[in-house]
Amino acid sequence: MPPRYPPSLRSRLPWLLLFFQIIFILVFLFFVSHDYQPDRQYIRLYPAFQDVNVMVFLGFGFLFAFLKKYGFSGIAFNFLIAALGVQWAIILDAFLFHYKDGITAIGFRSLLTGLMSVLPVAISAGALLGKMNPAQLLLMTALEVTVFTVNRYIMTTLLKMDGHLSMMHAHIFGAYYGLSVSWFLHKPSPSHNAAHEKEKSETTSELFSMLGTLFLWTFWPSYNSLLLHDEIERKNAVYNTYYAIAVSTVTAFSVSVLSNQKGRLEMKHIRNATLAGGVSVGFVAYMVEYPWITMIIGFLAGLISTLGLQYLQGLLNARLTVHDASGVNATFGLPGLLGGLAYALVILVADLDSIKILSYQAVVGVGCLCLTMTLSLAGGLLTGFILKCQLWKSPKEIHFFSDQSYWEFPHLASHL
């Protein structure tokens, strides 16, 4: 007997998409003006913008395609939420950061900021991979982008944090927002064993996921330097990010073998932990002039990430009932926290006269970490509460990690 999947997405998904899109068009029509003046930064920043574009749409899409029966959804739903989320992020950024004298203007930098603001949603979706329907993902995108933009606004306006550094908190925010939503929505039941059978990968799906890792790895220096204004800082960010992510890669390969009982490599370590150096070093890459410092950060990030994937991911599910489908805590959360603490430490031990940073910024840096953790966890719990409403019809556990609930498969005998 074929599985009884929902026969259609027509009752919710298209109407929610049309609602959001029409609202966004009307906002751009009546409330937003575009700055069409010549912008010299456009030519200089466009290549780096395209790099981040590839990271968001290709990198994260393929990274989360490792489930053998959830490849269509892992790639395509990331495409959908990124396309919708970037529009909403640009609108929010325009009203919160560029509203003056009744005029809300956007330019090329608004597009850069909007694209980077979608990154937390992509990370959160990795924690919830295969456990939410697309309508829930869209609603989570709208809510998470809103809370993340408010988080940035508080940092830059009240705590006087630099705009570049406020964006580096995206990894922490996305990881713990997604984990808190997962904790609220997902409580394992006897049927979870049936769903767990589909939560596996195969050779082809792992290769697609590794392709996403390579996209992210290659373009991460652009992400860590895109919003910087000073040329020297941008150069430092590119160099140091490359050093750190290279070291975290070597460390991940080494620790993967050491932590495996048979002394073999594990693909989940390679596709995830190799990125940890880029996550951690984003906070300090622009200010450090000695590559050995960022290489140490990359080493620690690779170590923490690999061990977290090996030992902590299962513990979260077993003890705290926080199901982390793709290991975002070890890939983005823990390395992000390491990077935030490294930022405070580097400032405390640096020569303040040479880098012109006030000592109180170390305290501000720790305060921003606390703010990000608080808003991400609280926002995630609120989002989980809203998404658990019967209106959104959460998929049953037996239907987790399966494309057949959402996609047409003409080659299958059963009609879905």
Q: Alpha helices, DSSP H only, in 158-290? A: 163-168, 170-185, 192-198, 203-223, 231-259, 267-273, 276-281
Q: Which string of b and e fits 333-347 if b means at least 16 CB within 10 Å?
A: bbbbbbbbebbbebb
Is 54 contained in some domain?
yes
pLDDT in tens, 145-190: 999 999 999 999 999 888 899 999 999 999 999 999 999 887 665 5
Q: Are 67 and 199 in contact (CB under 8 A)?
A: yes
pLDDT at 2: 42
Is 8 contained in some domain?
no
Q: What is the CATH number of the domain that holds 251?
A: 1.10.3430.10
What is the edge-to-edge ordering of all strands in the sheet holding 99-100? 33-34, 103-106, 99-100
Say what the pTM is: 0.91
Is 236 contained in some domain?
yes
Is 17 contained in some domain?
no
pLDDT at 1: 39
Query: Which amino acid belongs to residue 106?
Result: I
Is 4 contained in some domain?
no
How many whole angstroms from its chain centre is CA 111? 17
Is 353 contained in some domain?
yes
Whether 103 shows a pLDDT value over 70: the answer reads no
Is 9 contained in some domain?
no
Residue 226's CB is within 10 A of a number of other CB atoms, namely 21
Is 360 contained in some domain?
yes
Q: What's the domain count of the chain? A: 1
When the pLDDT of each residue in the chain is averaged and rounded to a whole number, the result is 87
Domain range enclosing 333: 28-35+42-403
Q: By mean pLDDT, which of 111-125, 223-237, 317-331 is the weakest?
A: 317-331
